[in-house]
Amino acid sequence: MAGYRKLGRTSSQRKALIRSQVTALLNNGKIVTTEARAKEIRKVAEHLIALGVREKDNYETVTVTAKVARKDKDGKRVKEVVDGKKVTVFDEVEKTIKKDMPSRLHARRQMLEVLYPVTAVAEDGKKRNTKEVDLVAKIFDEIAPKYADRKGGYTRIVKIGLRKGDAAMEVLLELV
């Protein structure tokens, strides 16, 4: 007997399905799917959240100096002429960043193996105003602190009813 459900798909299709569903679950907080899929998705999602909970505070804060291009009131880079060429003017700025410890970096890379890149569309619905959502940062910064005192059981499966087309049991899979 297999240690997982095959879901009527080849291994590459199954892996892609689970990755996309887990990405949607962690991005939106809940998804509607079939019961068999939900039980498989739950395993992967709970593992990722457990990684986040374990490594959420495992970083050090470092102050660095960075060169940043000076910008005018319109947000365009300021240029000045040096030896007959236009050159961008840079300012040095002090920034504090989070530097991952090795185990947190490893957990971050394990999460990135599973999660697909997500783009958030702006309110106006235009394609040029989309932004890349960092789901791994969302797990570490928002989801993991919420579940810091729990020992597992981060998701809930609620049965909705039978699907009209094929009478498959539909469920709501959500973060608790």
In tens, the pLDDT along 122-169 reads 777 677 778 899 999 999 999 999 999 999 999 999 999 999 999 999
In tens, the pLDDT along 32-76 reads 999 999 999 999 999 999 999 999 999 999 999 999 999 988 888
Rounded mean pLDDT, 91-103: 94
Confidence at 13, pLDDT banded by 50, 70, 90: very high
**Is residue 41 a contact partner of residue 154, using CB atoms and an 8 Å limit?**
no
Confidence at 1, pLDDT banded by 50, 70, 90: low
Alpha-carbon distance values, 156 to 76, 104, 153, 167 (Å): 48, 26, 8, 22
Q: How many CB atoms lie within 10 A of CB 58?
A: 14
pTM for this entry? 0.84
User: What is the location of CATH 3.90.1030.10 in the chain?
Assistant: 1-57+101-176
CATH numeric code, 1-57+101-176:
3.90.1030.10
